[in-house]
Amino acid sequence: MEMKINSEIIVNKRKDKAWSQQHLADVCDVSLRTIQRAENDGNASYETQKALCSAFEIDVKDIAFREKRDDGKNRPTKKPLFILSFIFILFGSALVTTVSIASTGVTVQAESVVVSRDQNTVTYSGDVTVFIPEEEPFEMSLLKSDNVTDGPNQFNLRIVNNKMVLLVADPKITKVDKKIKITTSKLQTTRL
């Protein structure tokens, strides 16, 4: 899955260490093309981000791409950590960031993303926004909300596609430009 990163930070950190792109690729155990894509386009998978941050001894949040909000403050823009994985999971391909999203049209933005050890479950929290194209086949069902707790019962909407289950807490659903827009504070995706 690919996410947007601040490529200027990567370039500056690499130059500060007087490393070539090839040397950074070797340190991160990725291809030269992966480093070039991260520096030129600002696209990097979560694994690549972790490798870059490890090489530079910084946190992943330090390289997150930030966009200006209407109030002039910066906020991190996070797209699915495993966009490719999510797309594969949800639609037989990986729904990660821009690249994978382009193939299915589904996007997820969140302030915080946590991936399970087995990488089958991804939990998004904070200001979470999901866009699903109208033509994308899926089923929605309401879950019992009797005892909403901090466990599997905290979700009250279930969205299922052929290979993915999305659980949504307190969703707000609207239609925007031929897409279903879901805003929530918490979203969990699991492979079937």
What is the pTM for the complete model shown? 0.45
How far is residue 134's CA from residue 26's CA, in Å, rounded to a whole number?
Answer: 43
| CA R_g for the chain | 18
pLDDT reported for residue 113? 80
In the chain, where the domains are located: 2-76, 83-191
- In order along its 192 residues, the chain shows pLDDT tens digits of 567 888 899 999 999 999 999 999 999 999 999 999 999 988 888 889 889 988 988 888 888 876 544 555 555 444 444 444 444 444 433 333 322 333 345 678 888 888 888 878 888 888 888 888 887 778 888 887 554 445 555 888 888 877 678 889 888 988 888 888 889 989 888 876
Q: State the residue for tokens 């589904």.
A: 106
pLDDT reported for residue 111? 81
pLDDT reported for residue 39? 92
Residue type, 166: L
How far is residue 148's CA from residue 179's CA, in Å, rounded to a whole number?
Answer: 28
pLDDT reported for residue 1? 55
pLDDT reported for residue 81? 41
pLDDT reported for residue 91? 45
Helix segments in 73-136, DSSP class H: 83-91, 98-104
Q: Which fold has domain 2-76?
A: 434 Repressor (Amino-terminal Domain) (1.10.260)
